[in-house]
């Protein structure tokens, strides 16, 4: 009987350890709580019984959005500090410029996924050429740098910028017509898939896909899928 209880305790402890370790930290590098809420909603389908927890956190000292290179560089250190102090099985940098991804990978032995790179991977898996909808023109240089880093810049059909604020994107309808028009333009220019180039666009994904007539990739969902797969494979 004692042996049975000891064995049962070992199983319970192992189960508790697995449950504790099954965690993915999704980091929103901007300070927008509303944007974090949209990210949280977008990745809800990837939460399931027995799967890893997906926790969304906000970098409170970050800018309202990552509009330019200065914003990109400003959040690198806060993101790295958050990774260092908050243990998880995997990390997701939830900004479609993947700010600080190289630095983040240097401070953790766990996998770190950038949502833009993840979305592009999903896009090129489904079509030869893809398009990107950017929040502002300044995003294009950062996206191009990421595409060059992963060697797929030649497969970019086109990128269209809306030149709006994060607050506008997060509203239910204000930017939707422009987003739908951008999706149609990218499809007309040869994009077989479309990547949403800002996490604030998440709740518009279905409408853009209906308008464009091609698959539309939401970057946080793409990264969540890869992170969940990595965590499950490591068990």
**In the chain, how many domains are there?**
2
The answer to whether residues 121 and 204 belong to one domain is yes
Tally of CA atoms within 13 A in the half-sphere of 87 that contains its CB: 3
Q: What is the pLDDT of residue 22?
A: 87
Q: Please, which residues have CB within 8 angstroms of residue 192's CB and are 6 or more apart in sequence?
A: 126, 127, 128, 129, 130, 157, 214, 215
CA max distance for the chain: 72
* pLDDT the model gives residue 21: 57
Confidence of residue 11 (pLDDT cuts 50, 70, 90): very low
Write the pLDDT tens digit of every residue in 119-138: 999 999 999 999 999 999 99
Q: What is the pLDDT of residue 19?
A: 45
pLDDT, one tens digit per residue, over 160-215 is 999 999 999 999 899 999 999 999 999 999 999 999 999 999 999 999 999 999 99
Range of the domain at 188: 116-219
pLDDT exceeds cutoff 60 at 118: yes
- Residues 147 and 62 grouped into a single domain: no
**Is 15 a member of any domain?**
no
Does residue 211 lie within any of the structural domains?
yes
Is residue 189 located within the same domain as residue 202? yes
Confidence of residue 20 (pLDDT cuts 50, 70, 90): low
Q: What is the pTM of this model?
A: 0.88
29 and 104 belong to one structural domain: yes
User: d(Cα 131, Cα 211) in Å, to the nearest integer?
Assistant: 14
Give me the CATH number covering residue 183: 3.40.50.1860
User: 63 and 37, same structural domain?
Assistant: yes
Same domain, 229 and 200: no
- Whether 16 is covered by a domain: the verdict is no
Q: Is residue 71 part of a domain?
A: yes
Give pLDDT tens digits for 150-163.
999 999 999 999 99
Residue 175 inside a domain? The answer is: yes
Asked if residue 14 is part of any domain, the answer here is no
Residue 92 within any structural domain of the chain: yes
Q: Which two tokens stand for residue 206?
A: 């279905």
């Amino acid at each position: 009987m004692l042996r049975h209880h000891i064995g049962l305790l070992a199983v319970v402890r192992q189960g508790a350890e697995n449950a504790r370790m099954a965690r993915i930290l999704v980091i929103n590098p901007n300070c927008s709580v509303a944007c974090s809420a949209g990210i949280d909603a977008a990745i809800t389908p990837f939460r399931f019984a027995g799967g890893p927890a997906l926790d969304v956190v906000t970098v409170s000292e970050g800018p309202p959005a990552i509009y330019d290179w200065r914003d990109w560089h400003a959040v690198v250190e806060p993101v790295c500090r958050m990774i260092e102090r908050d243990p998880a099985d995997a990390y997701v940098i939830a900004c479609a410029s993947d700010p600080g991804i190289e630095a983040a990978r240097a401070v953790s032995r766990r996998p770190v996924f950038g949502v833009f790179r993840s979305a592009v991977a999903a896009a090129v898996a489904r079509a030869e050429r893809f398009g990107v909808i950017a929040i502002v023109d300044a995003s294009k240089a950062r996206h191009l740098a990421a595409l060059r880093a992963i060697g797929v810049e030649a497969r970019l059909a086109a990128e269209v910028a809306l030149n709006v604020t994060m607050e506008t994107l997060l509203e239910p309808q204000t930017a939707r017509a422009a987003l739908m028009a951008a999706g149609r333009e990218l499809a007309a220019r040869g994009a077989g898939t479309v990547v949403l180039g800002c996490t604030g666009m998440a709740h518009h994904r279905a409408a853009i896909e209906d308008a464009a007539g091609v698959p539309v990739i939401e970057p946080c969902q793409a990264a969540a899928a890869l992170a969940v797969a990595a965590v499950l494979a490591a068990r």
